[in-house]
Amino acid sequence: MKCPFCNNEDTRVIDSRPSEGKKRRRRECPKCGKRFTTYEVIEKPQLMVYKRDGSFEPFDRQKLIKGLQIAVKKRPVSVEAITGLVDDVENTFANKMQTETNTSEIGDMVLKKLKKLDQVAYVRFASVYKDFTSVDSFIQIISELSERA
């Protein structure tokens, strides 16, 4: 790692610890004696998503978080639970080294995890994701939840 102060190529790590999903490293330059901090982040492959309308776009983490926040509004679900769910979805694709998927694969994965997290949020998310057009759709999904409980 190059020293940002004197451009010396040789620096040493004096402390290393995890920090918000990253590796925080405190470094020192033996030439000028100054210290600085670096963060090491695992680079994940870019996930591309095929949309229902036929378009193709990069996976947008914030878009999924926003949709989940709407589904869990006024429900006892923490922000950490939502980000954890989105992390799980992203990591599933990254671990498989999968770079392409479609919205239905992501949606099904989210529904499966959301069902365990909060059933009301599950119904809300499903109503938008599965594009419910009638009351019967709501009754059917709620009936399925009731039968499993």
Question: Rounded to 5 degrees, what angle do the CA atoms 111, 44, 78 make?
Answer: 40
Is residue 42 over pLDDT 80? no
Please state, rounded to an integer, the average pLDDT across all residues of the chain.
Answer: 91
pLDDT at 138: 86
Is residue 68 over pLDDT 90? yes
The structure tokens 């639970």 sit at 81
pLDDT band, residue 81 (cuts 50/70/90): very high
**What's the rounded Cα separation, in Å, for the pair 148 and 126?**
17
Q: Give the DSSP letter of residue 73.
A: T
Domain ranges in the chain? 1-42, 48-148
* Average confidence (pLDDT) over 90-96: 90
The closest alpha carbon to 112, from 99, 103, 98, 125, belongs to: 125
* Average confidence (pLDDT) over 29-36: 96
pLDDT band, residue 149 (cuts 50/70/90): low
Q: What percent of the chain has pLDDT over 70?
A: 99
* Average confidence (pLDDT) over 2-25: 91
Asked if 59 and 103 touch (Cβ cutoff 8 Å), the reply is no
Q: What percent of the chain has pLDDT over 90?
A: 70
